[in-house]
Amino acid sequence: MLKEFEGLSEDEIDLMLSIPILVSVLIAGADGNIDQKEKKEAILLAYNKQHHVTKELSGYYRLVGYNFEEKLLTCISKTSDDLEVRNGDLIHELRKLNLILPKIDKHFSIKFYASIEDWAKRIAEASGGILGYMSVTYEEAKLLTLKMINTPK
């Protein structure tokens, strides 16, 4: 267990470890279609963030990366095909972070939040566009800032 998670319940730890998956599914599915490029980007991010993040987040991403692809595909298969229902369910789960982040180290929660924002942006940009322009859809842009999560301060 990470020292940053001391004092959290098992459910809170599970949620913390599922945040990259929830964000991936929310952003990738914002336009109603989770495509292969977005899935590949999420899997690649999970791998890269295990090796290329700040020291504070490396342990977190090692835990996140364990069976990431399987967990991502399971999450996708378990979410509703109805866009409004799926987004509502995912946003509801992400809002739970507002009760968890104040319980953990302030420095870690700030780095974590910034990393998750970057994750969302990378997923949104994964599908490309025309020569890299217009790569983020309107639907993705509305969710990209993760307004459902309070910025740690």
pTM above 0.85, yes or no: yes
Q: Encode the chain (153 residues) as per-residue pLDDT tens digits.
A: 799 999 999 999 999 999 999 999 999 999 888 989 999 999 999 999 988 888 889 999 999 999 999 999 999 999 999 999 999 999 999 999 999 999 999 999 999 999 999 999 999 888 755 444 456 777 787 787 899 999 998
- DSSP per residue, 80-137: -SSHHHHHHHHHHHHHTHHHHGGGS-HHHHHHHHHHHHHHHHHHHHTT--BTTBT-S-
The total of structural domains in the chain comes to 1
Q: Assess if residue 63 is contained within a domain.
A: yes
Handedness of CA 70, 108, 37, 33 (dihedral sign): positive
Q: Assess if residue 28 is contained within a domain.
A: yes
- Domain encompassing residue 59: 3-144
Q: Assess if residue 149 is contained within a domain.
A: no
Distance between CA 11 and CA 109 in Å, rounded?
17
